[in-house]
Structure 1
């Protein structure tokens, strides 16, 4: 079987990957260099939204944050995942799949860039309501969740469009 690196919707998905990466990195730079967190380390934007400065050396909830081995393992995993999603993208023939995979690629690369540049992923969005605080995340995480959501939607409810 020949491995394809480019397919009919690769450019389309690639544009979504690029958009996710640029929006993620731009938002991180804007928050890192443009927000004064003061002594509290937090800026309230809306009653349910705060900006905070968290350096996550692990994965979700700081898991696997021990030592340099974990750093290399997580950084490498994100790059391998992005490559896998690119190979998948080269084979798709529907736009919803291309968008989903583009978002996954852009999100994985956004967090990989952080890990390579800073040694940790910068998370800054804190959502909360009624005393419940969701975990702190960034826009790469949003792209990844949106990509997975689109793939799930397509798998379970998108059959009529095929």
Structure 2
């Protein structure tokens, strides 16, 4: 049986896309964790008590511009504080959900042959795992980017949240606007 060039190229392309996706995920994860370390230990360190949600005297917000502050907010839920319960088991539920979603995305990543999808999926995986680390360490996610206008504040977020949102928006946009491949 003779294999065509496309049949041989497909596994190589998928391996390359897997490497790209994991590379993007690793970069997103590292940037998220470095930014959180900087916020927690340099920019807005806890003034009394342990670092984390149990901080007794957090540093005051730092105004960067007229529309952007650095703040220290601990999110025990998901985006915008949804599902933020004080139940002791909730961080574990959210960790499990993030890991299951990441596993599904890894399967998708293993099958893709498109660079755009690999990058987008990598952003979501890296962001999800960055927030999982916070939940494991602190039981909550460290949010610190605060954009505001005319007294209205967008909910604080972090680098991982940004990666997740950008990755999902790119995947949805691709699904809505990509032209079907001609065969």
TM-score (norm 1): 0.90
Aligned positions, number: 158
2:122 to 88, 102, 115: 102
2:106 to 86, 108, 115: 86
Q: 1:94 to 1:117 in 2, by over 3 A?
A: same
How far did 1:148 drift?
0.8
Q: 1:40 to 1:31 in 2, by over 3 A?
A: closer
Please tell me whether the aligned partners of residues 65 and 71 of structure 1 are also in contact (alpha carbons under 8 angstroms): no
Which ranges of structure 2 fall in alignment gaps of 5 or more residues?
1-10, 48-57
**What are the residue-to-residue correspondences of 1:134-153 with 2, within 5 Å?**
134-153=154-173
Query: Of the two, which has the highest radius of gyration?
Result: 2
Secondary structure of the 1:126 match is strand
How far did 1:36 drift?
4.1
2:152 to 104, 117, 132: 132
How far did 1:155 drift?
1.0
TM-score (norm 2): 0.80
How far did 1:75 drift?
0.9
1:12 to 16, 20, 40: 20
Aligned to 2:39: 31
Q: Are 1:65 and 2:84 an aligned pair?
A: yes
How far did 1:7 drift?
3.2
Alpha-carbon separation, structure 1, partners of 2:149 and 2:105: 35
Q: 1:128 to 1:101 in 2, by over 3 A?
A: same
Which one has more relative contact order, counting CA pairs under 8 Å at least 6 apart? 1
Q: 1:126 to 1:161 in 2, by over 3 A?
A: farther
Q: 1:36 to 1:94 in 2, by over 3 A?
A: closer
Secondary structure of the 2:64 match is strand
Secondary structure of the 2:179 match is helix
Which ranges of structure 1 fall in alignment gaps of 5 or more residues?
none
2:179 to 147, 159, 162: 159
